[in-house]
Structure 1
Amino acid sequence: MFSLQSAMLSTTERILHQCTAATTVRARSTVSSIEVPGPKCYPLIGCLPSMITDKDFDKECVYRYFMKLFKLYGPIVKVKFPGQPTMVLVNKPEDAEKVFQLTMNNPVRVTMEALRKGRYINPYYEKKAGIVTENGEEWWRVRSKVQVPVLKPKNVINYLKDMDQVTLDFLDRLSKLRNSEGEVTVDLKEELTKWSLENVCLVALNRRVGCFDPNLSPGSQPEVIIKAAQDFMKAIKECETGSKLWKIFPTKTFKQLQLSMQKLTETCETTVQEMETIMREKETADPNCQLNMVEQLIREPGLTQKDVVTFMVDLLPGGTETASDNAAVILYLLAKNPRVQARLQEELDHVLGDGSEVISQNQLAQLSYTKAVFKESNRLMPPMFGPVRILQEDVELGGYTLQKGWLVFLMNALSGWDEAQFPRHSEFIPERWLRHRPLGQIHPCAIIPFSHGTRMCVGRRIAEQELYVLVARTLHRFNLEWKHGDLERAYKFVFSPKGPLKFTFNERK
């Protein structure tokens, strides 16, 4: 997703009202002549004047500004920010679905410019930036090869036993980090990052790296991987949402991105070489031996070793950050909603029994309320605003003509807060996702935290599995409490929890 904060400062209702006349024009105009409504746009500076005088604007809560726009102009709004192409904000799931349909054959999105540049100037990558940031033929060349092994349920299930053990080890560690009242004495966000990275390393590196070791020495492999993954995501956020001076000269943050990417690349390249040696031995002993996910990628015709390394490098920090943030939100909402927590525990007690056995595929399939909790958490506190598409041709949407080259920003997060889409939208009600849909039908594009179609997050099944296991094991063992104020989240590329997270974990009796 591209930067909005670099162009946004604030807005004012006075200027927003300047375009209300467009609503009247829309009612009596033909489809082809209707101007997409939005705040007044000026040459060079675009909609900037409509933002810089808004006393309520907060760059970390930019969604409030978007909500104002939708309230004033309707579900499709045009905006223009300095240095950015014209952008159309879309709020209705029905319109999002149509955009996906219209762009399904060539889903082009805004690239991570800093990551792209970092790889293009690094000879190792040979002018190939990977599926996270490429578009067109190069993106599809790799995406078409990796999606089957990575999204195949059987391949993901093969990691279930190890992911279960990672979570059990994580909870054992937390139990030792509590005070006499059961409150965890460290920032849970940091611990969740270690939990998530340990899970991702099971897939990307085919091994555990020891993130929970309390005595990690500086320079040890786990410490290097942890720091590199964290620095990588931090640098990406800063480069994509900051001043972008890195385009002119190598800033400190851009150098941090290059350094962390280099360390991850070296780690993944060494791993691939080791796995190739092991595979040759396995295949010599048994030509029909089962290969793990990364081994299948290595053997995939049309993928080079560097393609696999690039994919692994993206998976390590990307999968870590999104899963840990998502986990924090789910645990917070459960801690704040004792009724939901109790119902979830009823399901877990029934399915897991005493919890002494490894969680099985069959048990995971029975956790319908657990999965509903996951969906409702992503509705109420979504990980990001939603997908972006760059139009490759003119399209008709909602009675307007959207032009080739425009950005269409599918504001999926705001759909989740719309009473018309979700009755009692401010309440945490996982039951709304159960099969009988007690609060009404839900549009399939109303909540899509992993995007949709061929540009859907390729690590979706991995992330879902590790989060289901975390919720199941945590709530089966503990009662959660949150004794502080409301959890705040900042928006910088994605939504991330602010401040230290202090939960109370009390053993269930």
Structure 2
Amino acid sequence: MVFVCDPKDIAMVFRSDGRIPEVGEEWYRVRSSVNKDMMRPKSVGAYAPLQDEVSRDLATLIQTVVRKGDSGGQVDNFLNLLHKWGLESLSLVILGKPLGCLTLDQLAEDSDAQRMISAVLEFFLYFAKLEMAPPLYQYISTPAWKKFVKCMDTMNSIAEKMIGEKLAELRKMEEPPEEADFLSSLLSKKNMTLDEAVMVAIELLTGAFESTANTLAFNLYSLAKHPDAQQKLYEEIMAVVPPGQPIDDKVLNKMPYLRAVFKETFRLYPTIFFNARTLTRDVVLAGYRVPSKTQIMMPQNVISAQPEYFPEPESYVPERWLRNESSANAEAFTFLPFGYGARMCIGRRFAEQEIFLGLIRIIQKFHVGWDGEDMKQIYKFFNAPDRDTFIFRERQ
């Protein structure tokens, strides 16, 4: 492995990918087809009302707890509630139907929703353990490997069941639905097979909801620890989105401070520590020739802490991302939370939109505070919060 932190070297690594990175022609064909639905702002914006519906439900559940008056404003196991929020939103977008898992009640252990949540959380935990330990699992079936495989089988079987039920519903329809969900849109593509469409849907259902939940938690924590920034965001929200008004992508485009908060939180609390690439050709980095097939690691937490790119890097300053600030023009390739180029995170725009909506609906209703020790990050492939001691106080 070679680690690089200079933006010029990072640019060279990403640009050396070319049109087709190491994964090849078949990957590129499928990815190009999916990009039309997942990477165009207009296409993703069409799902904003569905995602907003789930975020409003989340805020209402928090309000229910706060109004009970016996919790001190805390929501028991808040991170689990965020996991259910993420999965419910994904189900609505991908399959066009709710799972009914966004509830304060404990989900039944044998329910598909709870089994999916538990399997995904364990899957990434064991992924990280296997990644960071000597690769004994390549030679013998270690306990960690067995648990990893079991989690993967559970995730895939539940996702396949959910998608199969959706496919059965579609086959019964004489005409396509007026408002197509993401899976229906994939199935309509002539250059994608049924198996490929199902594969993409499975990857989204199993791989996206924990990372969005974690990122929303990091954003809420940053705002709780910096009440001035929280107040500024609240004022922007109230100016653009009066209570009760639905939100679409056009509304989100009028909220620069919301995006600044998101970027500054990601700079300090990256959901993934590294961007990684395997070189497809020889490249010169920092004066050294690095041969093809070398794995390159680009640690975001190191780059984001460099004062030459981010003045006072330890400080939480969303204003640094606003266009009217002199520091807004950070050097290109210093901040790539979703990667870059052909292999940029395919769910980027869906994830951003979902997190924006979650932040809006929570900050609109509550002043968010924090109780106890500072939040720290736990490495589980995705970085996860180690605690969730938020205090929610309803705004008057």
Q: Assess same fold via TM > 0.5.
A: yes
Could you tell me which of 217, 220, 241 is aligned with 1:352?
241
* Aligned twin of 2:78: 188
Label 1:278 to 1:154 Cα distance change in 2 as closer, same or farther (>3 A): farther
The answer on whether the counterparts of 1:386 and 1:451 sit within 8 Å (CA) in structure 2 is no
Deviation at 1:482, TM superposition (A): 1.1
Q: 1:339 aligns with which of 197, 220, 228?
A: 228
- Partner residue of 2:276? 388
Q: Does 1:97 align with 2:11?
A: yes
2:193 maps to 304
Does 2:332 align with 1:444?
Answer: yes
> Contact 1:232/1:317 (CA < 8 Å) preserved in 2?
no
Offset, 1:151 = 2.1
Counterpart-to-counterpart distance in 1, 2:41 and 2:171: 25
SS at match of 1:189: helix
Q: Secondary structure at the match of 1:173?
A: helix
Q: Is the 8 A contact 2:20 2:28 kept in 1?
A: no
Q: In terms of mean alpha carbon deviation, does 236-245 or 379-388 score higher?
A: 236-245
Residue 146 of structure 2 aligns with which residue? Answer: 255
Q: Which residue of structure 2 lines up, in the alignment, with residue 291 of structure 1?
A: 180
Does residue 68 of structure 2 align to residue 197 of structure 1? no
Cα distance change on mapping 1:289 and 1:482 into 2, 3 Å? closer
Partner SS, residue 496 of structure 1: strand
Q: Of 367, 373, 376, which aligns to 1:479?
A: 367
Structure 2 gaps, min length 5: none
Q: Do 2:304 and 2:335's aligned partners in 1 also have CA atoms closer than 8 Å? A: yes
Alignment of 1:149-160 (within 5 A): 149-160=37-48
**How far apart, in 2, do the equivalents of 1:360 and 1:440 lie?**
26
- Counterpart contact for 1:91–1:410, Cα < 8 Å: yes
Q: 1:277 Cα shift?
A: 4.3
**Contact 1:482–1:504 (Cα < 8 Å) also in 2:** yes
Q: CA deviation at 1:185?
A: 4.3
The one-letter code sitting in structure 1 at the alignment partner of 2:9 is D
Letter in 2 for 1:184: Q
How far 1:309 sits from its partner (Å)? 2.4
Q: Residue 107 of structure 1: CA displacement?
A: 2.8
Distance 1:281 1:153 in 2: 31
Q: Structure 2 CA distance, aligned partners of 1:389 and 1:439? A: 29
- Provide the C-alpha distance between the structure 2 equivalents of 1:216 and 1:181, rounded to a whole number of angstroms: 20
Is this contact kept in 2: 1:450–1:457, CA < 8 A? yes
Conserved 8 A contact 1:368-1:434: yes
Question: What is residue 392 of structure 2 aligned with on the other side?
Answer: 505
Tell which deviates more after alignment, 163-172 or 325-334: 163-172
Alignment RMSD (CA, Å): 2.2
SS of 2:146's equivalent in the other structure is helix
Give the whole-Å Cα distance in 1 for the aligned partners of 2:11 and 2:300.
Answer: 11
1:241 and 1:492 in contact (8 A); partners too: no
How many residue pairs are counted as aligned between the two chains?
393
Change in CA separation of 1:231 and 1:305 when aligned onto 2, cut-off 3 Å: farther
Contact 2:46 2:249 in 1 (8 A): no
Residues 1:230 and 1:206: Cα distance change in structure 2 (over 3 Å) = farther
Shift of the 429–170 alpha-carbon distance from structure 1 to 2, 3 Å rule, reads: same
1:153: Cα distance to partner?
2.6
Equivalent residues in 2 for 1:100-249, closer than 5 Å: 100-108=14-22, 135-178=23-66, 180=70, 182-213=72-103, 214=105, 216-249=107-140
> What's the offset of the Cα at 1:253?
3.1
Shift of 1:281: 5.3
Give the one of 321, 329, 334 matched to 2:210: 321
Deviations 1:259-302 (A, max 9, x none): 333333333334444434444555x446x955322112122233
Shift in CA distance, 363/105, structure 1 to aligned 2, threshold 3 Å? closer
Of stretches 319-328 and 146-155 in structure 1, the one that deviates more from structure 2 is 146-155
Contact in 1 for aligned 2:257/2:318 (Cα 8 Å): yes
Once the two structures are superposed, what CA deviation does each residue of 1:35-81 show, in whole Å capped at 9, x if it has no partner?
A: xxxxxxxxxxxxxxxxxxxxxxxxxxxxxxxxxxxxxxxxxxxxxxx
What does residue 65 of structure 1 align with? none
Q: Helix, strand or coil: the match of 2:315?
A: coil
Deviation at 1:227, TM superposition (A): 2.5
Please give the alpha-carbon distance, in whole angstroms, between the structure 2 residues aligned to 1:380 and 1:471.
Answer: 17
Q: Is the 8 A contact 1:150 1:293 kept in 2?
A: no
Contact 2:127 2:148 in 1 (8 A): yes
- Candidates 291, 296, 317, aligned match of 1:403: 291
| 8 Å CA contact 1:413, 1:447 repeated in 2 | no
Moved more, 477-486 or 258-267: 258-267
Helix, strand or coil at the partner of 2:378: strand
| Cα distance, 1:289–1:209 mapped onto 2, change above 3 Å | closer
CA distance change for structure 1 residues 304 and 228 in 2, over 3 Å: closer, same or farther? Answer: farther
Please give the TM-score of this superposition, normalised by the length of structure 1. 0.72
Q: Secondary structure at the match of 1:177?
A: helix
In the TM superposition, residue 356 of structure 1 has moved relative to its aligned partner by 0.9
1:375 positional shift: 0.5
Q: Which residue does the alignment assign to 2:156?
A: 265
Equivalent position SS for 1:387: strand
Q: Which residue of 2 aligns with 1:24?
A: none
* Contact 2:86–2:209, Cα closer than 8 Å, also in 1: yes
Q: Secondary structure at the match of 1:356?
A: coil
Deviations 1:202-226 (A, max 9, x none): 2333321122231533322322332
C-alpha separation between the residues in 2 aligned to 1:242 and 1:201? 34
Q: TM-score, normalised by structure 2?
A: 0.91
Offset at residue 400 of structure 1 (A)? 2.1
Q: Deviations over 1:130-159 (max 9, x none)?
A: xxxxx2233223222222222233332232
Separation in 2, partners of 1:226, 1:386? 24
Matched residues in 2 for 1:503 and 1:148: separation? 38
How far the C-alpha of 1:483 sits from its partner, in A, is 2.4
Query: 1:387 Cα deviation (Å)?
Result: 1.4
Letter in 1 for 2:84: K
- Are the structure 2 counterparts of residues 298 and 251 from structure 1 closer, same or farther at C-alpha, using a change threshold of 3 Å? farther
Classify the secondary structure of the residue corresponding to 2:3: strand
Post-superposition offset of 1:381: 1.4
AA matched with 2:5: N
